[in-house]
């Protein structure tokens, strides 16, 4: 006993020494006396509390030390394996191939994609045949593609700015020509400001997540295009759907959302209506004045995708706002495609200064991608100048649209869901079993069903989705035959290509014509006549 | 186009009369332009480039084979709008060329540098171990002051918000619910932007003009109200550009690439007028896809019209529900975007840490899908070749080993790594149309790659020798210096810009990097000359002393700036 004490003596001395050192250092710290007094008095009042606080501190340390990775190693579904078992499992595992080999049908489709030799335009030369064709497939509404002035401007810009901008807008990628184009677009439309994205497709799928966050409410059309679907998906907002291009249904859904909020007594969150000017899927056109009325009535913000209407309708191609004579400033976020509307590249979002500035920091594809090449921005600015100064271009385009519709509307075996003024014309094969009702992909207006029967707003599928009986493959084959028949006759048209299996809701197969002012009325009539003949020939052969 | 080059172009072999591919096609019948014809010509050129050792080519600079010379001012660049007083030392080379040296580039776009000493070939020896990057830690007082800086910024911001909302509610209108509309921007979400980023807005979104080459023209701006508005003064400043992604220096308003682009605009216009499957495919697409595939040694390639969209739209085509994506924790935002919309499950591993990746692979394969424990349909590992904020190169040999062992699929994103220094025969260039022989044969590309490799290593090793903490692989053209304290970012940026030779730099902080490791990121180009890198090193040395940035190697091992500059070749070869 005695010896144990003597051997431990240095240890005790050391402990005592370190204790006094710790104590004196602690006393030296400013404010330590306060803490000490606090601990002492609290312990005196309630010893249990000291214990509780000690446990809390330990818990806090434990939480901090826990791994930040999301590994669910400790989750209840984790199974412990020995190393040998792990090795066996690894050996056993056979992954699916990264991509399935293409089916014969897919290969044929890919092989049938027309390749243009040389410049694309109203009459391109095709690699497959070596002949020129009348082009009703490419987007060149106002005939800006191949414009010599634009080309000259582009070359001048190339010499002054080089090709690429070599950086994102935040880091020396903002060129003066980008700012000029942004100003040109804002002036052209009549908004406070606009922001330029370097790819058309990425514009809307970037704008939506910049504003719509988790907990916000999006009310969207059932027929919105793929890019919008992706934007909605990544935003993680609560989505409600209204029937395709049916503003009555929109009104009902908006009322439903408000009722729901009042019932839950939820907080006021951001609310958006998302729809398209001219729909990519079928060429239908939204009734903008009515839409704006609803937006104000229910206090929603409007995100309007004008990718297929900017540079296509209106007196000078300003899009739906010009066509309906609505100030563009009433649309909160007005998106358009510079690639389609101005035959350059990229897209834009126009709106108030606050809306635009917000995107400069929060728009993923704006912040994280290189800005567009200078020569494309200058070309687009020049395109706007041309549209502004020559309204005859749009008049000629509308003439062509009317001429085309005059021919197509008289064909029995097809239905056309597109608006009569839309330069994009979609053509469905009329199915003999269910005539008009299913001609339009997501449910047509409620006029169709006499009984007032609502679709479920939480689902993108409309109420009559179960009754859809399109033979997608068959119709696509039929339309592809039409495409090839047209090509043989010297007219280039295309099916509207879809990513089957990736869209939220399958669109009905359609043949898509894109008219252009670069073809004369005579040429347009001739080309559309060929399409009509091909449609009649192929469809009657199939039946 | 001169055909007397020592290395004739493959096009010249096939059809000596045709000045360009365009001509050739228009004279021949419009037979389907097969990729094979491009490729056979291409492989000949590659072989020639490999055989003819470029370092022993008859002339010291490959550009010599062209007869015309371009002095620093040329008729159609923005340069000639200014008088060449060369006060900033950017318009004229520091060492005037001798009578034998003829340069075809504009010095302000692509620097004149004829010294063969300043070239380097960087190559990985097969089988050699790839050494990972070792993070250096700064002294504790730096870390502490960094945290305190952020703390002060955050506290001050909240106090300003609190008082401002009560006294100056007009300025906060856009953050409050108004007439039944929720604010577009909640004040919590935008706190960082309003209270931290705004303070250093002068470092971001600087508008520029002209070619983003070796130098760049800044549109000068001032802010009278603490960065809420920016006013352009109307003047312009030429600055040394060590910020743009211009690895091989092809950002030029003249030269072979620009000429090819001009010709293609004249013949093809600027727009393809539609998506690839809907009438927007051109023969040029087919050709350049074949070319890209050949260059990277793959079966085929797909070209996308935007870098961001390549990742964000192609990943969902490869994986979907029931698949797993294993992603490096520092992968680019576009990859995260793509993975998120693909619907696949994501797991992350520690940046460039092969051990962590292997453990994760073992775990996910043995565990299978969460809850159901069914095996994964596919596992896709996504890494980047070169990380744009770190400068790290992926450990490719190791990761390919792992991939084979665990049967996963590897997807390498080379957005930033493209054109990174390597000994590949580089006869393939973006628009291979009617390039001058020096470009077509690969000699010029090779020189550019070796210049880039030298510049990267020289800057990286030079900074380390001066005592800075850097990140990344020495061969990577992206060279970050760690600054840590948020206040130093603004100062560093301004001090670099206010020097006699203005230098523009990119400073990045949270959220693009972890909170403490704020940094400045240099992006080296083949367009820089050794003198330019000297200039950057001198500037860093000066500013590093003022801002207390040298926390790397111990004082005794450091070199002086004069040592580094005079022994540049040694520094690069360290």
Give domain limits for chain B.
Answer: 1-125+235-255+436-574, 276-413
Identify the band that residue B65 occupies on the pLDDT scale cut at 50, 70 and 90: very low
For residue B197 the two structure tokens come to 């980023």
Instruction: Pick the residue of A162, A201, A267 with the most B CBs within 10 A to test the interface with B by mutation.
Output: A162
Nearest residue in chain A measured CA to CA from B29: A130
Q: From the CB of residue A310, how many other CB atoms can be counted at a distance below 10 Å?
A: 32
- B375 contacts in A (CB within 8 Å)? 93
Concatenate the DSSP letters of all residues of B450-479 into one string.
HHHHHHHHHHHHHHHHHT--B-S-TT-SEE
C-alpha distances (whole Å) from B173 to each of B97, B165, B189, B195, B549 are: 61, 9, 15, 16, 41
pLDDT for A448 equals: 45
Identify the band that residue B533 occupies on the pLDDT scale cut at 50, 70 and 90: very high
- Check pLDDT > 90 for residue B420: no
pLDDT for B477 equals: 92
- A301 contacts in B (CB within 8 Å)? 181, 184
pLDDT for B439 equals: 62
**What mean pLDDT comes out for the span B310-322?**
88
ipTM, interface predicted TM-score of the complex: 0.82
- B213 contacts in A (CB within 8 Å)? 162
Rounded distance between C-alpha atoms, residue B264 and residue A18, angstroms: 81
pLDDT for B127 equals: 66
Q: Which of A224-228, B255-259, B442-446 has the highest mean pLDDT?
A: A224-228
Q: Among the listed ranges A227-231, A487-491, B68-72, which one has the minimum average pLDDT value? A: B68-72
CA A454 to chain B, closest CA, distance in angstroms equals 27
Rounded distance between C-alpha atoms, residue B29 and residue B68, angstroms: 35
Partner A contacted by B194 (CB < 8 A): no
- A213 contacts in B (CB within 8 Å)? 189
Please indicate whether residue B541 or residue B408 has the higher confidence score (pLDDT). B541
pLDDT for B116 equals: 82
pLDDT for B33 equals: 45
pLDDT for B39 equals: 56
- Check pLDDT > 90 for residue A485: yes
Q: Among the listed ranges A439-448, A511-520, B232-241, which one has the minimum average pLDDT value? A: A439-448
Please indicate whether residue B509 or residue A45 has the higher confidence score (pLDDT). B509
- A351 contacts in B (CB within 8 Å)? none
Mean pLDDT, chain B, as a whole number? 80
**What mean pLDDT comes out for the span B116-129?**
75
Q: Among the listed ranges A81-85, A226-230, A353-357, A485-489, which one has the minimum average pLDDT value? A: A81-85
Instruction: Pick the residue of A94, A100, A117 with the most B CBs within 10 A to test the interface with B by mutation.
Output: A117
Partner A contacted by B303 (CB < 8 A): no
Instruction: Pick the residue of B175, B193, B270, B497 with the most A CBs within 10 A to test the interface with A by mutation.
Output: B270
Nearest residue in chain B measured CA to CA from A340: B273
- The tens digit of pLDDT for each residue in A292-310 reads 999 999 999 999 999 999 9
* Domain A148-389 architecture: 3-Layer(aba) Sandwich (3.40)
- B77 contacts in A (CB within 8 Å)? 159-160
pLDDT for A229 equals: 93
Please indicate whether residue B83 or residue A349 has the higher confidence score (pLDDT). A349
CATH 3.40.640.10 intervals, chain A: 148-389
Rounded distance between C-alpha atoms, residue B40 and residue A542, angstroms: 46
**What mean pLDDT comes out for the span B539-543?**
95
- Check pLDDT > 80 for residue B375: yes
- Check pLDDT > 90 for residue B481: yes
- CATH T-level fold of B276-413: 3.40.640
Please indicate whether residue A13 or residue B10 has the higher confidence score (pLDDT). A13
Rounded distance between C-alpha atoms, residue B510 and residue B518, angstroms: 7
pLDDT for A395 equals: 95
Which CATH number fits the domain B1-125+235-255+436-574, given the four candidates 3.40.190.10, 3.40.50.1000, 3.30.200.20, 3.90.1150.10?
3.90.1150.10
Please indicate whether residue B18 or residue A430 has the higher confidence score (pLDDT). A430
Smallest Cα–Cα separation from A327: which of A353, A289, A299?
Answer: A289
CA atoms within 13 Å, Cβ hemisphere of A468 = 20
Q: Among the listed ranges A177-186, A253-262, B184-193, B330-339, which one has the minimum average pLDDT value? A: B184-193
pLDDT for B5 equals: 41
Beta-carbon separation of B277 and A269 below 8 A: no
pLDDT for A432 equals: 65
* Domain A106-144+392-542 architecture: Alpha-Beta Complex (3.90)
pLDDT for B16 equals: 38
- The tens digit of pLDDT for each residue in A51-97 reads 888 899 899 888 887 755 555 555 667 788 888 888 888 888 888 88
pLDDT for B529 equals: 93
Beta-carbon separation of B306 and A179 below 8 A: no
- The tens digit of pLDDT for each residue in A340-358 reads 999 999 999 999 999 999 9
Nearest residue in chain A measured CA to CA from B332: A368
CA A118 to chain B, closest CA, distance in angstroms equals 6
- The tens digit of pLDDT for each residue in B243-294 reads 999 999 888 988 888 898 999 999 999 988 888 888 889 888 988 888 888 8
- The tens digit of pLDDT for each residue in B202-216 reads 999 999 999 999 999
Cβ-proximal residues to B528 (8 Å cutoff; 6+ apart), any chain:
B111, B214, B242, B451, B455
Rounded distance between C-alpha atoms, residue B400 and residue B359, angstroms: 15
C-alpha distances (whole Å) from A444 to each of A180, A248, A282, A295, A449 are: 42, 12, 12, 22, 9
For residue B91 the two structure tokens come to 């318009």
Identify the band that residue B440 occupies on the pLDDT scale cut at 50, 70 and 90: low
- Check pLDDT > 60 for residue B83: no
CA B410 to chain A, closest CA, distance in angstroms equals 10
- Whether omega for the bond prior to residue B511 falls within 30 degrees of 0, making it cis, is yes
Beta-carbon separation of A301 and B278 below 8 A: no
**What mean pLDDT comes out for the span A523-538?**
94
pLDDT for A182 equals: 96
**What mean pLDDT comes out for the span A267-296?**
94
Partner A contacted by B352 (CB < 8 A): no
Rounded distance between C-alpha atoms, residue A282 and residue A287, angstroms: 15
C-alpha distances (whole Å) from A258 to each of A300, B7, B43 are: 11, 74, 66
CA A226 to chain B, closest CA, distance in angstroms equals 11
Nearest to A175 among B189, B208, B282 (CB): B208
Q: Among the listed ranges A140-149, A346-355, B76-85, B407-416, which one has the minimum average pLDDT value? A: B76-85
Beta-carbon separation of A358 and B341 below 8 A: no
Beta-carbon separation of B305 and A199 below 8 A: yes
Interface A-B, measured as beta-carbon pairs within 8 A, has a size of 295
- A93 contacts in B (CB within 8 Å)? 365, 375-376, 407
């Amino acid at each position: 006993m005695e010896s144990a004490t003597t051997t431990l003596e240095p240890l005790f001395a050391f402990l005592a020494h370190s204790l006094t050192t710790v104590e004196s250092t602690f006393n030296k710290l400013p404010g330590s006396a306060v803490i000490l007094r606090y601990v002492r008095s609290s312990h005196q009042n309630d010893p249990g509390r000291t214990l509780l606080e000690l446990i809390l501190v330990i818990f806090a340390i434990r939480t901090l030390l826990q791994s930040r990775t999301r590994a669910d190693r400790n989750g209840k579904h984790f199974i412990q394996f020995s190393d040998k078992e792990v090795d066996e499992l690894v050996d056993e595992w056979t992954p699916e191939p990264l991509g399935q080999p293409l089916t014969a049908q897919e290969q044929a489709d890919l092989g049938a994609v027309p390749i243009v030799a040389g410049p694309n335009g109203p009459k391109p030369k095709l690699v497959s045949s070596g002949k020129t064709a009348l082009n009703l497939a490419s987007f060149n509404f106002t005939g800006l593609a191949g414009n010599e002035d634009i080309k000259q401007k582009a070359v001048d810009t190339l010499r002054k700015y080089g090709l690429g901008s070599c950086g994102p807008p935040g880091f020396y990628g903002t060129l003066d020509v980008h700012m000029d184009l942004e100003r040109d677009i804002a002036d052209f439309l009549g908004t406070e400001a606009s922001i330029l994205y370097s790819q058309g497709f990425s514009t809307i799928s970037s704008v939506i997540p910049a504003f719509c966050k988790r907990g916000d409410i999006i009310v969207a059309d059932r027929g919105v295009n793929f890019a919008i679907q992706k934007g909605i998906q990544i935003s993680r907002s609560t989505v409600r759907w209204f029937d395709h291009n049916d503003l009555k249904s929109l009104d009902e859904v908006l009322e439903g959302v408000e009722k729901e909020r009042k019932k839950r007594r939820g907080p006021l969150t951001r609310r958006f209506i998302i729809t398209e000017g001219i729909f990519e899927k079928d060429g239908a056109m939204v009734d903008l004045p009515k839409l704006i009325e609803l937006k104000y009535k229910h206090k929603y913000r409007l995100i309007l995708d004008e990718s297929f209407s900017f540079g296509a309708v209106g007196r000078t191609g300003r899009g739906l706002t010009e066509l309906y004579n609505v100030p563009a400033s009433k649309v909160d976020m007005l998106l358009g495609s510079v690639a389609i509307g101005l035959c350059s590249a990229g897209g834009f979002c126009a709106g108030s200064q606050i809306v635009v500035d917000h995107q400069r920091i929060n728009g993923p594809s704006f912040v994280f991608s290189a800005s567009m090449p200078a020569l494309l921005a200058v070309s687009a600015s020049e395109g706007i100048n041309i549209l502004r100064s020559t309204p005859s271009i749009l008049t000629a385009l509308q003439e062509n649209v009317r001429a085309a519709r005059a021919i197509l509307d008289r064909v029995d075996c097809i239905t056309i869901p597109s608006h009569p003024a839309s330069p994009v014309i979609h053509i469905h094969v009329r199915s003999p079993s269910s005539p008009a009702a299913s001609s339009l992909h997501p449910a047509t207006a409620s006029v169709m069903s006499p009984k007032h029967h609502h679709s479920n707003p939480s689902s993108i599928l409309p109420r009559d989705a179960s009754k859809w009986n399109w033979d997608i493959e068959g119709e696509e084959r039929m339309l592809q035959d039409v495409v090839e028949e047209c090509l043989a006759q010297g007219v280039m048209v295309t099916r509207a290509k879809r990513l089957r299996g990736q869209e939220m809701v399958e669109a009905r197969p359609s043949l898509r014509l894109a008219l252009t002012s670069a073809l004369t009325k005579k040429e347009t009539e001739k080309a559309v006549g060929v399409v009509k003949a091909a449609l009649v020939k192929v469809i009657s052969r199939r039946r | 186009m001169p055909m007397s080059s020592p290395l004739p172009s493959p096009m010249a072999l096939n059809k000596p009369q045709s000045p360009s591919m365009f001509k050739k096609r228009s004279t021949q019948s419009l037979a389907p332009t097969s990729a094979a014809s491009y490729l056979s010509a291409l492989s000949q050129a590659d072989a020639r480039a490999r055989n003819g050792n470029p370092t022993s080519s008859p002339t010291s600079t490959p550009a010599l084979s062209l007869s015309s010379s371009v002095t620093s001012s040329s008729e159609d660049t923005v340069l000639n709008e200014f008088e060449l007083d060369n006060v900033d030392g950017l318009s004229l080379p520091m060492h005037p060329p001798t009578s034998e040296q003829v340069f075809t580039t504009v010095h302000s776009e692509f620097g004149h540098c004829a010294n063969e000493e300043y070239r380097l070939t960087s190559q990985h020896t097969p089988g050699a171990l790839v050494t990972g990057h070792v993070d250096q830690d700064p002294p504790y007082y730096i870390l502490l002051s960094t945290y305190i800086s952020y703390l002060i910024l955050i506290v001050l911001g909240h106090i300003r918000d609190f008082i401002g909302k009560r006294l100056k509610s007009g300025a906060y209108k856009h953050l409050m619910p108004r007439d039944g509309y929720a604010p577009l921007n909640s004040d919590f979400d935008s706190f960082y932007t309003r209270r931290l980023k705004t303070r250093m807005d002068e470092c971001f979104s600087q508008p520029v003009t002209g070619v983003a080459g070796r130098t760049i023209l800044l549109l000068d701006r001032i802010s009278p109200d603490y960065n809420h508005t920016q006013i352009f003064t109307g003047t312009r400043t030429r600055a040394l550009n060590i910020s743009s992604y211009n690895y091989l220096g092809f950002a030029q308003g003249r030269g072979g690439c620009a000429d090819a682009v001009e010709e293609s605009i004249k013949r093809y216009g600027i727009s393809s007028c539609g998506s690839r499957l809907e009438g927007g495919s051109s023969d040029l697409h087919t050709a350049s896809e074949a070319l890209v595939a050949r260059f990277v040694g793959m079966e085929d390639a797909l070209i996308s019209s935007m870098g961001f969209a390549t990742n964000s739209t192609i990943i969902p085509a490869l994986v979907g529900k029931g698949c797993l994506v294993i992603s490096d924790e520092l992968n680019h935002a576009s990859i995260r975007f793509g993975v998120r919309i693909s619907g696949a499950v994501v797991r992350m591993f520690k940046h460039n840490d092969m051990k962590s990746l292997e453990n994760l692979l073992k775990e996910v394969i043995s565990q299978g899908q969460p809850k159901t424990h069914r095996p994964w349909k596919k596992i896709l590992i996504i890494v980047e070749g070169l990380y744009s904020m770190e400068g790290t190169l992926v450990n490719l040999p190791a990761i390919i080993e792992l991939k084979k062992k665990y049967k996963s699929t590897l997807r390498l994103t080379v957005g930033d790594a493209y054109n990174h220094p390597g000994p590949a025969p580089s006869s393939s260039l973006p628009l291979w149309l009617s390039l001058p022989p020096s470009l077509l044969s690969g000699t010029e590309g090779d020189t550019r790659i070796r210049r880039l490799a030298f510049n990267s290593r020289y800057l990286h090793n030079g900074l380390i020798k001066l005592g800075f903490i850097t990140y990344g692989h020495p061969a990577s053209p992206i060279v970050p210096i760690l600054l840590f304290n948020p206040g130093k970012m603004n100062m560093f940026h301004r001090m670099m810009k206010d020097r006699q030779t203005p230098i523009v730099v990119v400073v990045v902080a949270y959220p693009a990097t972890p909170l403490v490791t704020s940094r400045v990121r240099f992006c080296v180009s083949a367009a820089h000359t050794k003198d330019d890198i000297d200039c950057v090193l001198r500037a860093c040395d000066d500013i590093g002393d003022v801002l207390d940035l040298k926390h790397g190697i111990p004082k005794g091992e450091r070199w002086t700036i004069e040592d580094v500059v005079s022994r540049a070749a040694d520094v690069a070869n360290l």
